């Protein structure tokens, strides 16, 4: 679930705290509220939005240059996701960025439309601002994960798989890391399984012996998912 907190930041700890009493910037506050009111009432088609048949909301597209920049950025993102040195949890987090960065670009674009009352596609400088935000948020995500217990993160992912009924009531480790494409390797799955056993989310069972030793199976505790 933590991957959904894509705008999370981990602030630095203050060495010293100094209480201050500063009056709010009324002009800046009013400008923000004014932009929000304009966006709320905005007819996006009149500002370059494209209306599709049978769709309630129009959409904006990148300019030609912005689209080229996005394509290059997305390729680098996929390469980073597939890098062996990335942890499975971080790979899952980065997978959200292919939607996060365009969403930020759209938000910035709407603010600029309201501020300048213009009609245009999403420009390259707006996209670059969103990409820089993505870099900033990624650095904080790595910081947050560095403080996290990897066993808890993996166990959380396994709970998601079980809770969404992607596994049979009795399953094996192989079912998780091979069939369900969880992004977790065998080592990570073993770590998560140990914690789920400890917390009584699952219990060990044994399948019928065929050839060789019986394979280890696990059964879901239904009370833990009610």
Please indicate, yes or no, whether residues 155 and 84 belong to a single structural domain of this protein: no
**What is the per-residue pLDDT for 31?**
93
Q: Return all residues near 4 (Cβ < 8 A) that are at least 6 apart.
A: 96
Instruction: Give the per-residue pLDDT at 86.
Output: 75
**217 phi and psi, to 5 degrees?**
-120, 160
Q: Using one digit for the tens of pLDDT, what is the confidence trace for 2-53?
A: 667 888 888 877 777 778 888 889 999 999 999 999 999 999 999 999 998 8
pLDDT of residue 225: 65
Q: Can you give the pLDDT at residue 138?
A: 94
Q: Would you call 77 helix, strand, or coil by DSSP?
A: helix
Does residue 169 sit in the same domain as residue 112?
A: no
Residue ranges of the chain with pLDDT lower than 50?
none
User: Residue 188 domain-assigned?
Assistant: yes
**pLDDT score recorded for residue 45:** 93
pLDDT value of residue 76:
94
Containing structural domain, residue 167: 150-225
Residues 51 and 81 in one domain: yes
Which pTM does this prediction carry?
A: 0.67
Give the integer Cα–Cα distance in Å for 75 and 185. 24
Domain finish residue from 85, 118, 147: 147
> What pLDDT, on the 0 to 100 scale, is given for residue 65?
97
Q: What is the pLDDT of residue 213?
A: 54
């Amino acid at each position: 679930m933590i991957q959904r907190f894509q705008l999370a930041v981990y602030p630095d700890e203050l060495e010293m705290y100094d209480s201050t009493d500063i009056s709010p910037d009324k002009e800046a506050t009013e400008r923000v509220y004014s932009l929000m009111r304009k966006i709320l009432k905005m007819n996006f088609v009149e500002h370059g939005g494209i209306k599709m048949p049978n769709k309630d909301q129009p959409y904006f597209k990148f300019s030609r240059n912005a689209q080229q920049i996005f394509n290059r950025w997305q390729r680098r993102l996929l390469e980073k996701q597939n890098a062996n040195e990335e942890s499975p949890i971080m790979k899952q987090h980065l997978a959200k960025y292919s939607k996060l960065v365009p969403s930020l670009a759209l938000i910035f674009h709407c603010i600029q439309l309201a501020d300048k009352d213009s009609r245009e596609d999403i420009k390259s400088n707006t996209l670059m601002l969103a990409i820089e935000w993505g870099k900033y948020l990624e650095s904080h995500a790595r910081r947050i994960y560095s403080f996290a217990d990897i066993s808890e993160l993996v166990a959380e992912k396994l709970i998601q798989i079980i809770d969404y009924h992607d596994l049979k009531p009795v399953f094996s480790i192989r079912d998780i890391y091979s069939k369900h494409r969880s992004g977790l390797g065998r080592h990570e799955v073993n770590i998560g399984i140990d914690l789920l056993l400890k917390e009584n989310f699952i219990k060990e069972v044994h399948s019928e012996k065929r050839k060789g030793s019986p394979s280890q199976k696990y059964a879901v505790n239904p009370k833990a998912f009610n």
